[in-house]
Structure 1
Amino acid sequence: MLKRLGEEMTDNSEFESARQIHTVLVMHFLEGLKQSDIAEMLNLSTSKVNRLIAQGRKQGMVRIEIESPFQRLMEIERLLVQATQLTNAVVTPTISGNLDTTLKQVGRAAANQLLESLRDGDVIAITGGKAMSAVVDNLEPERSFDITVVPLTGGVQGKYHTDVNHLASRLAERLGGQTHLMHAPLFAESVEQRDMLMDLPSVKETLHLARQAAIALVGVGSIQTAGSSYYDLHPDSTADREKLIRGGVVAEFLAHLINESGAIADYSLNSRLVALAPGELSNCRKVIGVAAGSDKVLPIRAVLNGGFLNSLVVDEETASQVLQAMEGQTHVA
């Protein structure tokens, strides 16, 4: 750069000005000196140093490159947004052979996403699940928020991660807000009972708040193995697992079973759910999906195909496999 400038400059004052700019830029950007220190060392005013830096930028003498160990993750995030309807993606490192630690990292990243998106007065809607529990466990707000937390589904007693009211209460407690719980089971015994439960004033009010939520925190469930999260919600459905897989069901979302395309499956339990339907999240300002592990690849792809998320927090290996699966899907199409 200076050689070119020197060839073009016949006026010594112009060359000296360029040399001075170069000196200041090296001292500031490469040696890390403050502008006040540079001014003292070169016997210049601080305002003069500031003007020289501004001139250097204007003349294209400054190029900033950032080398980061997370560059690869950020590239995967960019590809996810580019290939889907997502407006935001966060990819965390995968801890090989340790899904619990990987999920903890994903949960911490999702917790930070929540805190960055949250505003006083917001309603947060949440599902149950291990991923949601990881989010709540890793939430470390610096202040309290005037928010309300509501469940997106009815609850299942038993395991800590299936009791969505418990998770909603813990989330509200950590944020310093309040809850509006849903006192209803996740599955009704019949369609008629489901309609009756959905019409109860307390349940109706909770679901109304959920529909208007600013932020929805949602897990993405698998049905591929007998130990998948869906069977924690309804153990009796384990007997239908092979039939469901043959029928094209690949995921659970808001307790609804969905197909690869993102469409809700024709399965009797879907019609007995006390829960918001996936499509009813469209009014939410931000729908954050949280998942980790290779068994979530097909479920994530299905949920993305359905357009149910606008933000996704996932680990690196899972994200890479999702992209590969989507590329294969595109080629087939």
Structure 2
Amino acid sequence: MTEKNQDRFRLLVKICQLYYEEGLNQMEIAKRLGISRPHVSRMLTAAKNEGIVRISINNPFSAEQELEKSLIDAFGIQDALVVDSSDTEPAGLPALLGRAGAALIESVLRDGDIVGIMAGHTIGCAAEEMDYFARDGMQFVPLVGGWGSDGAAWHASTNAMAFANKLKSKYSMFHAPALVANEETGMLLRQEPEIAKVLELARSSRVAVVSIGEVSEESTMVKSGSFSEEDMTVLKKLGAAANLCASFLDERGQVIDFPVSNRLIGLDARELRSIPTVIGIAGGAAKVTAITAALKGKWIDILVTDSETARDIVAISSPNE
């Protein structure tokens, strides 16, 4: 090494020690050494390029982040948030996903947002886990009516109210069931001024927070009494794999033309797609097929799920499978 190169190397090392070990900022180093701040910046960049400085990040979330990348690459979604569920019992999964969802929602929401909220226990948990943060002029609105009289604590209206109360914001309520007795009643209810107003507000949402329902006897719509065994039989024969708001999807993520659709009160999947940011929060073995269908159809922009579910989704979506 020539004397000139040795002097340069010595200066690089000194600048790195001042910056990384002693905590001086670039301007302080420039004043101390009598050089310009841009020159300090160039020297720090050169030190990294030449291997004098190696930055190592102690990342305890590397496995989950690999799954996130796999989901993003496989389905072309905007983002994914995967949380470790290896030590979580199935009963604790809604709370785990709710905490992760609450943190994500805080980072996404802006002043003046209209936020569409779906029904479901996990969405309710996200509201419970939410800590207050200041945003001006937000409003929360349900995306569908109520799934029966049972489980009212997880209705879309109840969840919207829970989010709004936590964040000291306005909210709207759907004074209508998600499923009515016949198509004529559905048409009349959708034309009712108060219901039409809520539907229009929901369509104006910038952010939607949705659950992804499985098509089974364990789903919210069945447990609430809204859907009969006969309805479920018809859905399964049509190839339904997922419930998303007031729509049903097949395994490819395509909307199914279901005879009951005109009896549903709420936004359908196509209306949901017009909302700029749709956050789906769902997990568990029973929902792997449903979540995969929603991803294949590109109905959601950001997915919050658990590591076991993410692995299963990636496995069944792999070209080698």
Asked if these proteins are the same fold (TM beyond 0.5), I'd say yes
Instruction: Note if 1:45 corresponds to 2:32.
Output: yes
The 1-side partners of 2:12 and 2:299 are apart by 52
Deviation at 1:66, TM superposition (A): 1.8
Deviation at 1:131, TM superposition (A): 1.3
The 2-side partners of 1:311 and 1:280 are apart by 17
Q: 1:3 is matched with which residue? A: none
Q: 1:100 is matched with which residue? A: 91
The counterpart of 2:164, out of the listed 160, 172, 188, is 172
Partner SS, residue 45 of structure 1: helix
State whether residues 221 and 227 of structure 2, in contact with CA within 8 Å, keep that contact through their aligned partners in structure 1: no
State whether residues 252 and 297 of structure 2, in contact with CA within 8 Å, keep that contact through their aligned partners in structure 1: yes
Deviation at 1:158, TM superposition (A): 2.2
The counterpart of 1:213, out of the listed 205, 216, 219, is 205
Q: 1:58 is matched with which residue? A: 46
Where structure 1 has 5 or more consecutive residues not aligned to the other structure, the ranges are 1-5
Larger radius of gyration: 1
State whether residues 99 and 292 of structure 1, in contact with CA within 8 Å, keep that contact through their aligned partners in structure 2: no
Q: 1:293 is matched with which residue? A: 284
Instruction: Note if 1:33 corresponds to 2:25.
Output: no
Deviation at 1:246, TM superposition (A): 4.4
After superposition, give the CA deviation of every residue in 1:269-307 in whole Å (9 maximum; x if it has no partner).
222101111110122121000001111110001111222
The 2-side partners of 1:221 and 1:291 are apart by 8
Instruction: Note if 1:193 corresponds to 2:185.
Output: yes
After superposition, give the CA deviation of every residue in 1:245-290 in whole Å (9 maximum; x if it has no partner).
3442111111433211222334332221011111101221210000
Deviation at 1:53, TM superposition (A): 6.4
1:225-264 matched pairs, under 5 angstroms: 226-234=217-225, 236-241=227-232, 244-264=235-255
Q: 2:275 is matched with which residue? A: 284
State whether residues 150 and 224 of structure 2, in contact with CA within 8 Å, keep that contact through their aligned partners in structure 1: no
Deviation at 1:331, TM superposition (A): 5.3
Deviation at 1:154, TM superposition (A): 0.9
Q: Which AA in structure 1 matches 2:292? A: R
Instruction: Note if 1:306 corresponds to 2:297.
Output: yes
The 2-side partners of 1:228 and 1:183 are apart by 22
Q: Which AA in structure 2 matches 1:21? A: L
Q: 2:6 is matched with which residue? A: 15
Deviation at 1:229, TM superposition (A): 2.4
Instruction: Note if 1:323 corresponds to 2:314.
Output: yes
Identify if the C-alpha distance between structure 1 residues 187 and 236 changes in structure 2 by more than 3 Å, giving closer, same or farther. Answer: closer
Deviation at 1:145, TM superposition (A): 3.6
The 2-side partners of 1:56 and 1:85 are apart by 36
Q: 1:273 is matched with which residue? A: 264
Q: 1:121 is matched with which residue? A: 112
After superposition, give the CA deviation of every residue in 1:104-142 in whole Å (9 maximum; x if it has no partner).
221112112211111111100111001111110111133
The counterpart of 1:152, out of the listed 136, 143, 146, is 143
State whether residues 95 and 101 of structure 1, in contact with CA within 8 Å, keep that contact through their aligned partners in structure 2: no
Number of positions where the alignment pairs a residue of Structure 1 with one of Structure 2: 313
Partner SS, residue 133 of structure 1: helix
State whether residues 89 and 312 of structure 1, in contact with CA within 8 Å, keep that contact through their aligned partners in structure 2: yes
Identify if the C-alpha distance between structure 1 residues 119 and 144 changes in structure 2 by more than 3 Å, giving closer, same or farther. Answer: closer
State whether residues 222 and 230 of structure 1, in contact with CA within 8 Å, keep that contact through their aligned partners in structure 2: no
TM-score computed with the length of structure 2 as normaliser: 0.88
Identify if the C-alpha distance between structure 1 residues 240 and 199 changes in structure 2 by more than 3 Å, giving closer, same or farther. Answer: closer
Identify if the C-alpha distance between structure 1 residues 183 and 250 changes in structure 2 by more than 3 Å, giving closer, same or farther. Answer: same
Segment of structure 1 superposing worse, 147-156 or 54-63: 54-63
Partner SS, residue 206 of structure 1: helix
The 1-side partners of 2:233 and 2:57 are apart by 49
Deviation at 1:163, TM superposition (A): 2.1
- RMSD between aligned residues: 2.5
Deviation at 1:227, TM superposition (A): 2.1
Segment of structure 1 superposing worse, 287-296 or 176-185: 176-185
